[in-house]
Amino acid sequence: MARRKFGWHSGSLTCHDITVEDGLTVEGSLEFGDASTDTLTINGAATFNSDVTMTFAGTEYLDIVNASLGAGTKGVYLEMESGSAVAGSRQGALQVELGRSTVMTNSDGNPDCAVKISCSDWSDGGSGYARIRGMDLKAKNDGDNGNSTVFINAAYITAENGTGMANSGDMTVCELQMKNNGTITGESIGLLIQDQSQGTVTGDTIGIKIASSAYAITREHAIEIGTAGGSWTNIMHFTDDDHTNFLKFDVVAGCISADAGATGANSTHKIKVDVNGTAAYIALFADY
């Protein structure tokens, strides 16, 4: 490989296996030759004074390799700062877009995937020491001068079937797959929400909230629990009694009634349930 020393270049630069020992500044285009093995190695810092567009032939890809990460180091580090005083950086510090313009005539069963992240233990990470986490997200109102925000949202996920479009299968916003094919000493948990709040909340603190939009459309099930050949021993499991109420109902016409009816002298409310298509009621009795 030819080793050349570049500090600054203006115009079009065509690369054929070059190594830059110092910083590289390119104001024009940076191009590689036709050979599939052409490489560019930069041992200093690269600075671009205009937009950078990298075009691949279709089967080529960008491979960023860091042979070994030490404690506290980062493999690829991207840092940006929002500069507008009136507009949010809604396109994101990192935007990944994958589109399809080729009509599929068959399918191998796999979907188009814009982002794929995996973290694997390729060898024995050390019994009792290795820990694996596929992704770590945080949205934080951070600062030392009492910074304030309108809302904080760690992840915003949308699955949308466009107006007039057809989707022959299911539409799922978020799918969680549990696969224990070995041995787990602790619990196998599909979704864990740990409330570590120590501040003040004016409204309610809610672990999971399911709400519909303002559109007058009836949805069938807020929560549906079923099996595909297996079974759940307990549909709901309350592990202790350190709660004010195990269930709380706001009075809704047709669902909860204050009419005791003929259910007993001490009954105060009843809950409407559907049993295989037939309306039935569960009587609730006063504490006496």
| Average pLDDT per 10 consecutive residues for the chain, totaling 288 residues | 43 53 61 60 70 77 82 88 91 92 94 93 78 92 78 94 94 94 94 93 93 84 86 89 83 65 63 86 75
- The neighbouring-strand residues paired with 41 are 19
Rounded Cα distance, 260 and 266, in Å:
8
Collapsing DSSP states into helix, strand and coil, what is residue 38?
Answer: coil
| pLDDT, position 72 | 84
* pTM assigned to the model: 0.78
The encoded tokens of residue 44 equal 């200093």
How far is residue 135 CA from its own chain's centroid? 8
Collapsing DSSP states into helix, strand and coil, what is residue 281?
Answer: strand
| Residues 21 and 43: beta-carbon distance below 8 Å | yes
| pLDDT, position 63 | 82
| pLDDT, position 54 | 77
Rounded Cα distance, 106 and 49, in Å:
44
Composition of the chain by helix, strand, coil, percent to 5:
0, 15, 85
